[in-house]
C-alpha cells in the first residue's frame, strides 16, 4: 500500500478537533466523537478514514505506565560510533531495533551519533542492559548515560493548531 502524501495545512477546524480528541482518547467511539465535533457519525467516520489513509493518523496504541511495567527508570544514552559508513550505521540500527528496552533511537547531528531512550526497572537492570547489550552494540566507540531523576513533562499528543 503506497503512502498518500497529505499537506497538513489543508486540515480544517473539524479535522484538527478530531485529531485533538483522538490523541486524547484513541478509544472514543465514533458516535461520541461525532457528537463532540458536531458532525453526523457517517461524516465523522469518513473524515477519520481520510486522516488514516493520508497518513496523518499513523496508528492507535495503548500507553502503559512505566512503573506498572517495572520500567520506572528512564536513561538517555549518547552513542558515538567508530565510523559512520552506511554498513556501520545499518548494523548499529539493526542491533538497537532488536533491544526491547530501547524506547526511542534517533540519529543525531553534532558530537553524538545516536541518542537512545531506554526504560529499565532500576540501576541494577541498567547495569545488566549495559553489560549484555549496550557494550556489545556493533561499532559503538563511546557510550554516555544520563539517568533521569523524574519526568517533568512527557507528551504523546502533537499540537494540531
Quick one: the chain helix, strand, coil %, rounded to 5?
A: 40, 20, 40
The answer to whether residues 88 and 82 touch, using CB atoms and an 8 Å cutoff, is yes
Q: What distances in angstroms separate CA 110 from CA 60, 78, 113, 144, one per listed residue?
A: 33, 11, 7, 15
- pTM (predicted TM-score): 0.86
Measured in residues, the chain has a length of 161
Three-state secondary-structure class, residue 150: coil
Structural domains of the chain in order of their starting residue, each with its CATH number: 8-53 (1.10.10.10), 67-147 (3.30.70.920)
Q: Identify the pLDDT of residue 161.
A: 82
Q: Identify the pLDDT of residue 1.
A: 42
Question: Residue 107: CA atoms inside 13 Å, Cβ hemisphere, count?
Answer: 9
All residue ranges of the chain with pLDDT < 50 are 1-2
Amino acid at each position: 500500500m503506497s503512502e498518500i502524501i497529505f499537506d497538513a495545512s489543508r486540515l480544517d477546524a473539524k479535522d484538527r478537533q478530531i485529531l485533538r480528541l483522538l490523541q486524547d482518547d484513541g478509544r472514543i467511539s465514533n458516535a461520541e466523537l461525532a457528537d463532540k465535533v458536531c458532525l453526523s457519525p457517517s461524516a465523522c467516520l469518513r473524515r477519520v478514514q481520510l486522516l488514516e489513509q493520508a497518513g496523518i493518523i499513523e496508528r492507535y496504541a495503548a500507553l502503559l505506565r512505566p512503573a506498572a511495567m517495572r520500567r520506572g527508570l528512564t536513561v538517555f544514552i549518547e552513542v558515538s560510533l567508530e565510523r559512520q559508513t552506511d554498513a556501520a550505521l545499518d548494523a548499529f540500527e539493526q542491533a538497537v531495533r532488536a533491544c526491547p528496552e530501547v524506547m526511542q533511537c534517533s540519529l543525531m547531528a553534532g558530537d553524538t551519533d545516536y541518542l537512545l531512550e531506554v526504560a529499565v526497572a532500576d540501576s541494577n537492570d541498567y547495569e545488566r542492559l549495559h553489560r549484555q547489550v549496550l557494550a556489545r552494540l556493533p561499532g559503538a566507540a563511546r557510550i554516555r548515560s544520563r539517568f533521569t531523576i523524574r519526568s517533568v513533562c512527557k507528551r504523546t499528543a502533537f499540537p494540531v493548531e
